[in-house]
Amino acid sequence: MSNYLDGLNPAQYDAVTQTEGPVLVVAGPGSGKTRVLTYRIAHLIEKGVAPWEVLSLTFTNKAAREMKERIEKVVGEKANQIWAGTFHSVFGKILRIEADKINYNSNFTIYDTDDSKSLINSIVKELSLDSSSYPANAVLSRISNAKSNIIPPAKYSNNPVLLKEDADQKRPHLYKIYEMYVSRCRKAGAMDFDDMLYLLYALFIKNEGVLAKYRNKFKYVLVDEFQDTNQLQYGIIKLLTLYENSPCNICVVGDDAQSIYAFRGATIDNILDYEKDFKNKGIKTIKLEQNYRSTHHIVQAANEVISYNSRQLKKSIWTDNNEGTKIRLIRTMTDNEEGKRVADLILEQKNRFHLINREIVILYRTNSQSRVFEEYLRHFNIAYRVFGGMSFYHRKEVKDLLAYLRVVINPNDEEALKRIINYPKRGIGDTTVDKIIALASAEQIPTWEAIRNVEVPQRTKNLLQEFLNMMEIFQQKSQTINAYEVATMVARQSGLLNELKSDTSIEGQGRLENFNSLLDSIKEYVENDAADVDEERNISNYLQTVSLYTDADEEKNETDYVSLMSVHAAKGLEFKSVFVVGMEEKLFPSFMSMNSPQELDEERRLFYVAITRAKQLLTITFSNSRYKFGQLVYNDPSRFISEINESHVESNISSMKTKGVEVESDSFGSSKSGIKGNFKIVKPIVLPKIDISKFSPSSPEKIGAGMKVLHLKFGEGVVKNIEGASDNRIATIHFSELSEENEKKIMLKFSKLQIVE
């Protein structure tokens, strides 16, 4: 066996060999944390510690498996006897052994999220409560939070603060649902994921004999990603290790600067207070500060950003790696242009730096941002994969609205019709739908006609007629209004929008964001001046356009792809090239984080995680404007950008100052991709500064040749001529303030122009 201690730096060596007593290893990004954990366990076994006396807790099964495999290379098959796994897998194993102590059978069922939501829906129905006021996601999130904070049903129902919060959310009976949920789980011999922590904690508290058994068994305890633990997880760890006459052989490894899971119940207080909790036990703190992953510019930028957080464990990350390429900061005018620019740069990097797709990642704050990048990657034939969620156009909430729109233009679209006929729920059951499909098939008649003629009870017939009436109104209106107006009308009147708004959970908010992002893309389609002027912006043409994305063949076996994911999903990963996109106020940091300094600090830690994923190339982008809820919203660059010293930011291109940083100013129609090795500086287009509050669009019918008009994007222009008749009038306008492509053809029906004179 090779000497596994060779090659460790001094801090890593200390972290591996300091086996006795409590140890805190503060591991910065790219500092060799996994190596330290692996070698520390191997070192314990080499010293004579029995493998089954070692407890190693991680947050993913993958991490636990990889750790065992690495340890096995050092100590052989002994690695298989280590108690290593996730909190849930290890604690679940203990609960099965001790099941009789908590009045469970050892073969208890584990409820997944869908099981839990189904049970909650049943309880809501039994209590005759309004399901729209008690959406399963929101209720489950509340119950989970209560368990994570060690609040049982009895304590919950007597807590005036919690009851008031529920009442404010129009859910005064949530305590009763919680009580019934716990009772029904126990009756069914089932536990949910939170129970596997909560019940073990309760067992240890109530049964000293069981607690003593596992204190004696686990002589050494190691916890990975300690900054991600919640109150309950840390409570169990302290019960096992922090007691009178305990040797306190516990080592926790983590980085407070990467604590980003508060929305899951994780608390940064655990790692910040750890030294104080174990102070009387002779705690030793070891800091892994050497970064082996990133270039000097990236490491220093990360240090500068995180220094703005108030509560943190002070450390100074450094690297022996080369200086590297400066961080590229790009401003675009719209989110659509941002998508194109990123795709351009990916092609440039692949050519210039010989990168392959899987070495590149696009990181965003919310999953709804993926749409525009997916579109341009497809356009440029760049293979990609969306992580942490389905491809945008495959997400349920997106497909639901598109299905409605498909039926609007084609009532006989059977698959789309089946999807929407009872969603949101309107009392039309599966049996009725099956009868409709069977009748259409047997009589060889359109599905729409089958709905009218199917033999069903009168109540169901009335419900079907209401559905038909609604859809026929949509169909009629679609003949006279544009795609966005149709989509907005359908979203509201079908009940889809209210259905999504009723779910206030984190997941529900994400679905609502995706839904609104789709509406925004339709709005952009309608108002896109650069699109084909001969194309009418109706719903039929929109669906044809979007079908290129939804129906495109996907490479199922593709292994070389650009990754698209949220920053949360990127935790623990690394890439040669990282794009952090949408760096704007109220997006990153999120508008939901503006409530407190603590929440803003977490957003900054999230940005820190994003930039430290990069090994060689880091690109940060933000957009001056993007569509939100159907409105073109103008954005300020994220405050986090200004926290990076300009010495680490690329400034060899024409630039603008943004709070102390140099920003590459990209513009309409320009391309600096340099795919063929041409990296010349292109003079940016100067765009006018327009006060949107004073902008008032004029009626398209009043606009004529020779008039001076104002456009939000292009500034002042003169109408040279107008072609076409009635609704299809196209104006040729000369915009003198643009540095190139001064003349633009604009369809007046869909454009916003203000007559100046």
Q: Which of 33, 35, 365, 713 is catalytic?
A: 33
Q: Are the C-beta atoms of 636 and 596 separated by less than 8 Å?
A: no
Catalytic residue list contains 258: yes
DSSP label of 586 = B
Q: Which of 18, 34, 475, 488 is catalytic?
A: 34
Instruction: Quote the DSSP letter at residue 225.
Output: S
Q: Is 96 a catalytic residue?
A: no
**Calpha distance 191→182 (Å, rounded):** 9
Measured from the Cβ of residue 393, the count of other Cβ atoms closer than 10 Å reads: 21
Which one from 40, 371, 523, 613 is the annotated catalytic residue? 613
Cα angle for residues 224, 147, 505 (degrees, 5° grid): 90
Among 243, 233, 312, 219, CA closest to 265: 233
Q: Taking Cα atoms as reference points, which of 318, 322, 311 lies closest to residue 602?
A: 311
Length of the chain: 757
Residue 331 token pair: 């401003």
Listed residue (652, 683, 689, 691) closest to 667, CA to CA: 683
CA atoms within 13 A on the CB side of 411: 20
Q: Determine which one of 225, 338, 584, 650 is catalytic.
A: 225
- 383 within 8 A of 562, measured Cβ to Cβ: yes
Catalytic residue among 195, 224, 338, 527: 224
Instruction: Look up 225 and say whether it is catalytic.
Output: yes
Cβ atoms of 689 and 703 closer than 8 Å: no
613 catalytically annotated: yes
Per DSSP, helices labelled H in 551-618 are: 597-611
In the numeric block, which tokens belong to residue 729?
């009038």
Burial (0-12, 13-18, 19+ Cβ within 10 Å), 173: middle
In three-state secondary structure terms, 722 is strand
Phi-psi region at 353: left, alpha or beta (left = phi > 0; alpha = psi -120 to 50):
alpha
34 catalytic residue (yes or no): yes
Give 519-532 as a DSSP string. Answer: HHHHHHHHH-TTS-
Which of the following is catalytic: 233, 258, 432, 619?
A: 258
The residue type found at 424 is P
33 is catalytic: yes
β-pair partners for 718 = 708, 734
What the block records as the tokens of 293 is 């992953």
Sign of CA dihedral 198, 199, 200, 206: positive
Catalytic sites, residue numbers: 33-34, 224-225, 258, 613
